[in-house]
Amino acid sequence: MQKRALIVGLGIAGMSAAIGLREAGWTPVIIERAPRRRTGGYFVNLMPEGMDAAAGLGLDDLHTRDPLRGTTWVLNRRGHRRPALSWLDLPGRPTAMVRGDVEAALWGKVAALRQGEGGVEVRLATVPVEIVEGDDAVEVLLEDASSGIRHRESFGLVIGADGLRSTVRRLAFGPHERFMTSWNAMICAFPLPAQAPSFGAQDSLISARTGRAVWVFGLADRAPTALLTYCTKDIDAQFTGDRTERLRAVFHDMGHPAVRHVLDALPQAPDHLFDSVHQVKMDRWSTGRVVLTGDAAWCLNLFSGMGTTAALRGGAELGRALREHPDDLGAALAAWEAGLRPFVATHQRMARVKHQWFVPTNRVLAGVRALVMRLAGNARRSSTEARLLRAAAPAPDGV
Ligand X SMILES: Cc1cc2nc3c(=O)[nH]c(=O)nc-3n(C[C@H](O)[C@H](O)[C@H](O)COP(=O)(O)OP(=O)(O)OC[C@H]3O[C@@H](n4cnc5c(N)ncnc54)[C@H](O)[C@@H]3O)c2cc1C
Site for ligand X in 17-76 (CB under 6 A): 31-34, 42, 44-45
Site for ligand X in 307-326 (CB under 6 A): 307-309, 311
> Min. distance of Cβ 148 from ligand X in angstroms?
14
354 binds ligand X (CB under 6 A): no
Q: Which stretch binds ligand X (CB under 6 A): 8-16, 190-198, 320-328, 372-380?
A: 8-16
Among 5, 6, 7, 10, binds ligand X (CB under 6 A): 10
Helix H, strand E, coil C: the string for the chain is CCCEEEEECCCHHHHHHHHHHHHCCCEEEEECCCCCCCCCCCEEEECHHHHHHHHHCCCCCCCCCCCCCCCEEEECCCCCEEECCCHHHCCCCCEEEEHHHHHHHHHHHHHHHCCCCCCCEEECCEEEEEEEECCCCEEEEEEECCCCCEEEEEECEEEECCCCCCHHHHHHCCCHHHCEEEEEEEEEEEECCCCCCCCCCCCEEEEEECCEEEEEECCCCCCCEEEEEEECCCHHHHCCCCHHHHHHHHHHHHCCHHHHHHHHHHHHCCCCEEEEEEEECCCCCEECCEEECCHHHHCCCHHHCCHHHHHHHHHHHHHHHHHHCCCCHHHHHHHHHHHHHHHHHHHHHHHHHHHHHHCCCCHHHHHHHHHHHHHHHHHHHHHHHHHHHHHHCCCCCCC
348 binds ligand X (CB under 6 A): no
Q: Which stretch binds ligand X (CB under 6 A): 7-15, 148-156, 279-287, 354-362?
A: 7-15
99 binds ligand X (CB under 6 A): yes
> Min. distance of Cβ 379 from ligand X in angstroms?
24
Q: Please, which residue, 83 or 294, has the CB nearer to ligand X?
A: 294
273 binds ligand X (CB under 6 A): yes
Q: Which stretch binds ligand X (CB under 6 A): 12-20, 148-156, 240-248, 370-378?
A: 12-20
Among 7, 9, 206, 354, binds ligand X (CB under 6 A): 9
> Min. distance of Cβ 320 from ligand X in angstroms?
19
Contact residues for ligand X (CB under 6 A)? 8-14, 31-34, 42, 44-45, 99, 127, 161-163, 167, 187, 189, 227, 273, 294-295, 302, 305-309, 311
